[in-house]
Structure 1
Amino acid sequence: MIASLARDLRFASGLYRTLARVRGIHPASPRRICDDLEASVRGWRDREALRFEGRSLTYGEMDALANRFARWALEAGLKPGDRVALFLPNRIEYLPAWYGLSKVGVVSALINNQLTGQALAHCLTLAGAHEVIVDAETSRALQDVLGDLEHTPRLWSLDAPLPGEGDLAADLAGRSADPPPAAIREGLKAGDTALLIYTSGTTGLPKAARVTHVRVQLYMRGFAGATGAGPDDRIYVALPLYHATGGLCGMGAALLNGACVVLRAKFSATQFWEDIRREGCTQFVYIGELCRYLANQPPHPDERSHQLRLAFGNGLRPDVWDKVTGRFGVPRVLEFYGSTEGNVSMFNFDGRAGAIGRIPRPLKQRFNARIVRFDYESEAPLRGADGYCTEADAGEAGECLGRIDSADPRAEFTGYLDSTASEKKVLRNVFAPGDAWFRTGDLLRQDADGYVYFVDRVGDTFRWKGENVSTAEVALRLQAVPGVIEANVYGVAVPGADGRAGMAALVTNGDFDIGILAARIAADLPEYARPAFLRLQPEMAVTGTFKQRKVDLVEEGFDPGRVTGPLFHRAADGGYRPLDPAAHEGIIHGRIRI
């Protein structure tokens, strides 16, 4: 009873802090995210705000740089609602750039700096930007796709410009650091678009989510409250700033609390602990795979000699959670659930290992999220004879839906630039005639205490031998096998077979033994969930936010003519045999059963 009470108090305290910080956010409000940041500048002008690889900006210097970006935009003839694309890696100017542009109502499109070719051209076309800001790292990739764009934007470089690019660094240096004229803000509201943030593109080309000032405020203010950060905190951000977790959650936790952001160009598992110790960091923001990379590293002399008191982020799987708190000695993990474009958010304030959040039953009506029964055949929520959905029972996996309510900023759904893509995410007449709910595309389950756990993505769970196979759960089992560093599980079509057969792409080290793997699979997984095919590869293809890409793996299937690296199929005795062209033909024509 005492433990339960302490748990509930921790949850209530975290929820209260978070709700208190987001109170007053409303689409009709004239207060936008730039106003929130300017309030921080007034409160902590001389304190360090941003630190990046030897460079540092105080809150006042950050604001001055933002003002120069604002004045550059005005001189370029940009008006409220116009768009500028930031095609940049993490660097100290990143947040001041979009912060400054927001002061004059200009929308920043945050482009993944790792994109090239078709994907890059697609994102720039969606943005419809008048100007694109690049640097030495991204300039060449942009130059390569200019011919594929419908309209050629003006290019500006923060480093030495290439021919055809403006020298933005010199331009900014010559501009006034005074705030832009206040009259420009007249009529601008929190419901206006602040940013375009793109989906990760794990299953195809990215979609551009329209992120209003309301959404940015919910992220930044929310995490300012949820983390309990203060002016003495130093928050380590090695995630890409074009993504909401690092660029909004991490930045908001620090910059709306007077804390310092210790920013890195990119995550390095080998340098992480040295950075944390040297910079005196007290918190860091993660995506689950970042922590897995750390856990897969050999012991580091600094991995416990740190001042960390909190790790916060999303996607931390149960098998790694205990290593963060145990091996690394991080006292507290704050896991959350949400998506850039979605209207569902949850926090695991009281630290139940593996849970992505909690919805206590007495507070259920305060949350807009519901988990409904799911039809795996149609990959859609299951409807009863009356045409309506029903909530899943405790312990039962179902799709999470978020009630859409334009009157509640936390429940609104602003969608994508593509209205067709937006409509595909809306489910209507769910519990009552005329209601509308956002489809998260995530299968979750909730236990009797209200804790919510991630099961899989809709589409990743597949049917084989009449059973539903969760790729996430199979991957979890495979990653527990000695020598398996990473596992990416997916389903592939087999001619003549119903459903999809399981396949796993593995990254392994010298401890890997395929015989031991086969034995562990046979012991730990039911027959239908055991991968029919394996492929070994030196590294896993991931997005810039460490999400595993599956689309190319599914397309290549188990064809040895398309798959590079060792390829295996599961034999009748449960062992794995090399899959050569002859074996491939045998499987295709049914001579070899899987």
Structure 2
Amino acid sequence: MPHAVAHFARKLTSTAQNWLEVTRFGGLETGEEPTAFDIVDVGPIHRLRRYAIGDRSGPPILLVPPLMLTADVFDVSPPVSAVRTLGGQGIDVWVIDFGSPEHETGGLERTLADHVRAVSAAVASVVEETDSDVHLCGYSQGGMFCYQTAAYRRNAGVASVITFGSPINLRGAVPLGISEGVAIGGIRFVLDRVLRGNPVPGWATRTGFRLLDPVKALRQQLDFLVALHDRDALLPREGQRRYLMGEGWVAWPGPALDEFMRQFLMHNRMLTGGFTVGDRPVTLADIECPILTFIGEVDDIAPPAAVRPIRQAAPQADVYEVALAAGHFGLVVSTSAQTASWPVVAQWAQWLSREAARPPQPILVSDRPAEQSQATLTESAEGIHLVTGAGKAAFQSVTGTLARSAHDIRNLASITSRELPRLARIGDVRTHTRLSLGQLLDERARRSPRDVCFLYEDRVYTYLEIKQRIDGVVRGLLSEGVRVGEHVGILMHTRPTALAVVAALNRIGAVAVMLRPGADTARELDLGEVHRLVVDPAHANIPAGNRQVHVFLLDTPDHAREPGLTALEQPESPVQVVPVWYEPNPGNARDLAFILFGGDFETPRVIRITNGRFGISAFGTAASASLSNADTVFSINPFHHPSGLLTSVGGAFAGGARLAMATSLDPETFWTEVRRYGVTVVSYTWAQLRPLVNAKPQPGERHHPVRLFVGSGMPRSLWRRVSSRFAPATVLDFWATSEGEAVLVNIDPTKPGALGRPLPGGAELRVARWDPTARTLLEDRDGYSIECGADEVGLLLARVQATTTANPLRNLFERGDAWYSSGNLVRRDIDGDYWLIDSVDSQIRTATGVVASLPITAAIGKIPAVDLAITYAVPTADGAEIAVTAVVPLQGCELDAGEFDHVLMCLPLQERPAFIRIVSEIPLTPWHRPIPAHLPTEPLQWSTSEHPVFKRSSGGTYAPYINVGHNSDTHARLRAVSPISDNHE
């Protein structure tokens, strides 16, 4: 008993002495000294250390700490020092030190871009000093900096990237089982209402991390207190404890934290791409060097599900993985890390430098099947649920302004709360409603001036920058006397300045006449009633014909220009006089805002777009596609095309999404641009995606971030192949009248080719019985038109609203009503979806009756080996017409008569084509719409073709067609057409 008492007394005394030391000095004195280093370079926010260990003859490794910890995380104490372990194996060890922001001038104002540029500068310094590419090695967020820097530098000077517990899919790192939606909402609330750009002190970050696993944190504290009497047992781990309990934590700069949470937590751009470093868009898909990632199997801060998607984000890199039974800190700061982590890193670097054998632990995972990103799946699911109503009463209780859309709402499937304000804005469109493109841009610039607005040619433009550019153009236009309602032409290629001119004219209230490069400019100037024309340098010498046109060149004010060209943009000046009448964004819904041109270049057709039509299309697109500020809309069509202006520009700005543009669709660069801009929604028109779906697979196509292809007119065969190849992305197809406000959208992925259902807030639609022979509406005994029933073909009519410029048909269903004729024949199925049958002018008048072309084309489009098809009229000697279908097969595929017999059985015999021609190509308009122009119309010409021709028999089946007198070789070749292969795709 005396011995036990004495032992207890000694333990109590030791505990008291050690506790007093911990209280006074923050911990036990270990006598350990940090590893010696030299400061090689100093930048605006960093110091570059080079450690003096060994002969430094091995490959250089640059260690990058996370923002919340000091650079000493790699040298906490000798037993757990990464720099000593690496240096002891001959590695040339470098560390970037960001210091303690709270103790440095301007430190709390740093951004994430500042840190990426600092790491990039450190890489350049190491490369210059060692004349060797450097291995970038980062822990936690430091690893994210390594990924970002390698992508930012496009691999220049980077031998490999090595990361420890560095998340890629940050939505996979949401703690405590909190749902993704709740987490994102909470982050937005904290950023906007709590932090408001303020920094977070080190103690708060430390507390937050410990609260992620409070049980473990409490257990560590209790273990320390229980062992406090045994100094010898505590000393080996005391340096590590002191570092993690307080000495290692530093403040997060406010701007860097805000940027981190918005770009990577809310928008998940580490995975999807499109994060920004200064004015440059960056994607991890640009990384081509090898990647080694260490994963903690019990890591609660960066769980494996958040780290492993690097193979999705960087499809061009070989990704290797080491999984350890360790937590987040244990990956780098533990005794096990000295045997399981850092020796592998040293051997990895030496292996890539050809100084050692490949380490056995890393597993190449590039080819391992990857789980699809949950974020991508979630957003894809959202995208196909159009903005649509859960019930008339519930919807109207939330948005009474949509009362007039109740009939349309009953036809829609579901509705999400996020879309209610957008639908309400559509429903609010009246004659005098203030609504315009200029207003949308000004709203966004006022609300989020530093958000990304526009991405083009590897450059990022914020809303503030775009607004300042628009302001300059507005000043120039006003100084030249441009007034409300005046028609001003724009002839420019795709570029940010073109957007500035369109928005500036719209803000003044003038009409932007969007001329088409390459078309008959003089003719379009006349049709658009243009006397002033804004051009870019490429169109400075375009002839205006006999029309007197004042030409303005949009460039910098001091730019050299041709004589006779007036510089348009003006800098802000205190002496500048603004007309008293000027009021920004005066446009009402009924006011004409844009004039576009359709048809071919030789015979242009005027398309008038009011502010109301623009607004309905813009908010309809945003609502239908569930666009948010996490999206980037990629337009491969210019502003002077309806798809570019209404769907891409309008939808992006109405939905708060970013807008990225390309001058054309190039399959070789498409996926690079998609990754670099973080594209989630791609707009298209007609068969525009055909080169993309026919191209060879690209590395960036794997695990791509696109969730929706949005556009109009996609052929059924192309729709099927796009949905199959680029899954889980889906197709959202719109259809709208060129005049009026009828907008249909197909939200049902099981009905490819359907026009879909009316958009709430658009014009009321009706289908009226039509006599195809007399080409007139059928009337009842009272002289009114007759509305069609389900699946009955008739003429699509849209009720004229006050905001349309269309010339109406009156007194169709009741006295005094007014309707716009779409010129198209449709049927509405029992579900309420509309299907296009043909345009009134495209129907084929055969000897046995009128034949619609589109059902034929749609039926043949069901054949898997069909690439593209079109049905058109060919005149006959007796003055009638026959239906002929031209078909382009997929490369390497052949078609036989049996395929055509099978798919055309759904049509009556007399409504099947008389001939089916296999052709190598079908002409397309500049906007990728198939047309029959230049296709032969004489059967005698077909028989000399190298491709088979099939003729319909009297029984409705098809057989190879041989013209009498044709040579026997061709006859044998046509008869020997093989059936298509089972692996045609």
TM-score relative to the length of structure 2: 0.50
Deviation at 1:275, TM superposition (A): 2.2
Q: How does 1:394-433 map to 2 (within 5 A)?
A: 394-406=790-802, 412-415=803-806, 423=807, 426-433=808-815
Q: What residue is the counterpart of 1:45 in the other structure?
A: 449
Counterpart amino acid of residue 386 in structure 1: D
Q: Deviations over 1:364-412 (max 9, x none)?
A: x996101122211133333334322222221222221001132xxxxx4
> What is the distance in 1 between the residues matched to 2:687 and 2:585?
43
1:250 aligns with 2:680: no
Q: What residue is the counterpart of 1:345 in the other structure?
A: 743
Q: What residue is the counterpart of 2:910 in the other structure?
A: 528
Q: What residue is the counterpart of 2:551 in the other structure?
A: 154
1:436 aligns with 2:838: no
Relative distance call for 1:367 and 1:24 in structure 2 (3 A) is closer
How many residues end up aligned between the 2 structures? 547
Q: What residue is the counterpart of 1:21 in the other structure?
A: 425
Relative distance call for 1:49 and 1:222 in structure 2 (3 A) is same
> What is the distance in 2 between the residues matched to 1:335 and 1:278?
25
Relative distance call for 1:284 and 1:110 in structure 2 (3 A) is same
Q: How does 1:65-76 map to 2 (within 5 A)?
A: 65-76=469-480
Of 724, 728, 738, which aligns to 1:326? Answer: 724
Deviation at 1:179, TM superposition (A): 11
Deviation at 1:80, TM superposition (A): 1.7
Q: How does 1:77-96 map to 2 (within 5 A)?
A: 77-96=481-500
Of 199, 204, 222, which aligns to 2:598? Answer: 199
Counterpart amino acid of residue 448 in structure 1: I
SS at match of 1:133: strand
SS at match of 2:830: coil
> What is the distance in 2 between the residues matched to 1:158 and 1:97?
11
> What is the distance in 2 between the residues matched to 1:394 and 1:138?
51
Counterpart amino acid of residue 649 in structure 2: M
> What is the distance in 1 between the residues matched to 2:850 and 2:560?
54
SS at match of 2:683: strand
SS at match of 1:13: coil
Q: What residue is the counterpart of 2:305 in the other structure?
A: none
Q: Percent identity?
A: 24
If you compute each CA radius of gyration, which structure gives the higher value, 1 or 2? Answer: 2
CA contact (8 A) 2:592 2:611 kept: yes
CA contact (8 A) 2:438 2:585 kept: no
CA contact (8 A) 2:478 2:579 kept: no
1:102 aligns with 2:500: no
Q: Deviations over 1:438-493 (max 9, x none)?
A: 11122222111212222222222223242443322222344455764322221122
> What is the distance in 1 between the residues matched to 2:897 and 2:785?
40
Deviation at 1:236, TM superposition (A): 1.0
SS at match of 1:503: strand
Q: What residue is the counterpart of 1:409 in the other structure?
A: none
Relative distance call for 1:76 and 1:505 in structure 2 (3 A) is farther
CA contact (8 A) 1:569 1:577 kept: yes
1:129 aligns with 2:526: no
Q: What residue is the counterpart of 1:274 in the other structure?
A: 672
Of 931, 938, 945, which aligns to 1:558? Answer: 938
Larger RCO: Structure 1 or Structure 2 (Cα < 8 Å, ≥ 6 residues apart)? 1
> What is the distance in 2 between the residues matched to 1:43 and 1:127?
35
Relative distance call for 1:403 and 1:318 in structure 2 (3 A) is same
Which deviates more, 309-318 or 78-87? 309-318
Q: Deviations over 1:517-553 (max 9, x none)?
A: 4443344335434444566665443333322334x44
Deviation at 1:306, TM superposition (A): 1.4
Relative distance call for 1:528 and 1:256 in structure 2 (3 A) is same
Q: What residue is the counterpart of 2:370 in the other structure?
A: none
Q: What residue is the counterpart of 2:853 in the other structure?
A: 471
Q: How does 1:88-237 map to 2 (within 5 A)?
A: 88-115=492-519, 117=520, 120-139=521-540, 142-143=542-543, 146-147=544-545, 149-154=546-551, 156=553, 163=562, 166=565, 168=567, 171-172=568-569, 174=571, 183-185=581-583, 188-190=586-588, 191-201=590-600, 205-237=603-635
User: Runs of 5+ in structure 1 lacking a partner?
Assistant: 407-411, 416-422, 584-594
Counterpart amino acid of residue 442 in structure 1: N
Deviation at 1:8, TM superposition (A): 6.5
SS at match of 2:547: coil
Relative distance call for 1:103 and 1:367 in structure 2 (3 A) is closer
Relative distance call for 1:324 and 1:549 in structure 2 (3 A) is closer
Q: What residue is the counterpart of 1:586 in the other structure?
A: none
> What is the distance in 1 between the residues matched to 2:862 and 2:578?
56
CA contact (8 A) 1:18 1:223 kept: no
Of 447, 458, 474, which aligns to 2:840? Answer: 458
Counterpart amino acid of residue 59 in structure 1: Y
CA contact (8 A) 1:505 1:535 kept: yes
Deviation at 1:218, TM superposition (A): 2.1
Q: Deviations over 1:11-70 (max 9, x none)?
A: 341674542232433332455432222111101111110111123211011111111111
SS at match of 1:109: strand
Deviation at 1:250, TM superposition (A): 1.6
SS at match of 1:373: strand
Deviation at 1:238, TM superposition (A): 0.9
Relative distance call for 1:482 and 1:158 in structure 2 (3 A) is farther
SS at match of 1:256: helix
CA contact (8 A) 1:401 1:439 kept: yes
> What is the distance in 1 between the residues matched to 2:539 and 2:783?
51
> What is the distance in 2 between the residues matched to 1:378 and 1:429?
20
CA contact (8 A) 2:811 2:817 kept: yes
CA contact (8 A) 1:428 1:437 kept: yes
Of 769, 772, 776, which aligns to 1:376? Answer: 772
SS at match of 2:682: strand
Relative distance call for 1:572 and 1:305 in structure 2 (3 A) is closer
Of 773, 776, 784, which aligns to 1:388? Answer: 784
> What is the distance in 1 between the residues matched to 2:510 and 2:938?
48
CA contact (8 A) 2:440 2:653 kept: no
Deviation at 1:162, TM superposition (A): 7.7
SS at match of 2:673: helix
CA contact (8 A) 1:343 1:438 kept: no
Deviation at 1:501, TM superposition (A): 0.8
> What is the distance in 2 between the residues matched to 1:483 and 1:180?
63
CA contact (8 A) 2:435 2:612 kept: no
Relative distance call for 1:49 and 1:580 in structure 2 (3 A) is farther
Q: How does 1:435-514 map to 2 (within 5 A)?
A: 435-481=817-863, 484-498=866-880, 500-508=881-889, 510-511=891-892, 513=894
TM-score relative to the length of structure 1: 0.80
Deviation at 1:506, TM superposition (A): 4.2
> What is the distance in 2 between the residues matched to 1:450 and 1:182?
51
Deviation at 1:567, TM superposition (A): 8.5
Counterpart amino acid of residue 324 in structure 1: V
SS at match of 1:433: coil
Relative distance call for 1:163 and 1:455 in structure 2 (3 A) is same
Relative distance call for 1:266 and 1:41 in structure 2 (3 A) is same
> What is the distance in 2 between the residues matched to 1:114 and 1:403?
36
SS at match of 2:649: helix
Q: What residue is the counterpart of 1:587 in the other structure?
A: none
Counterpart amino acid of residue 124 in structure 1: L
SS at match of 1:34: helix
Relative distance call for 1:251 and 1:152 in structure 2 (3 A) is closer
Relative distance call for 1:75 and 1:451 in structure 2 (3 A) is same
Counterpart amino acid of residue 447 in structure 2: G
> What is the distance in 1 between the residues matched to 2:629 and 2:937?
52
